[in-house]
Amino acid sequence: MPYCVEFGNFNSDSDFEMCKMEIENYLRDLQEYIQCLEDEINEAIEDKIKS
């Protein structure tokens, strides 16, 4: 989880926008990780079915 989320209140719009960007990047990375796990699961299932 991005560190900036723990602050709660932001001192400026700039701080808010930076935190927003950190969260968006974090979510994108998390979605990529989840997709990778799903791909590995599907590969394992396909391998199991074939054998």
Across the chain, which has 51 residues, the per-10-residue mean pLDDT values are: 84 93 97 98 96 85
Identify the DSSP state of 6.
G
User: Per-domain residue ranges for the chain?
Assistant: 3-50
Q: What is the largest CA-CA distance in the chain?
A: 59
Please state, in angstroms and rounded to a whole number, the distance separating the CA atoms of residues 17 and 27.
15
What's residue 16's pLDDT?
A: 93
Helix, strand or coil for residue 14? helix
Rg (CA), the chain: 18
What's residue 6's pLDDT?
A: 85
What's residue 36's pLDDT?
A: 98
Which residues have CB under 8 Å from 15's CB, separation 6+?
Answer: 4, 7
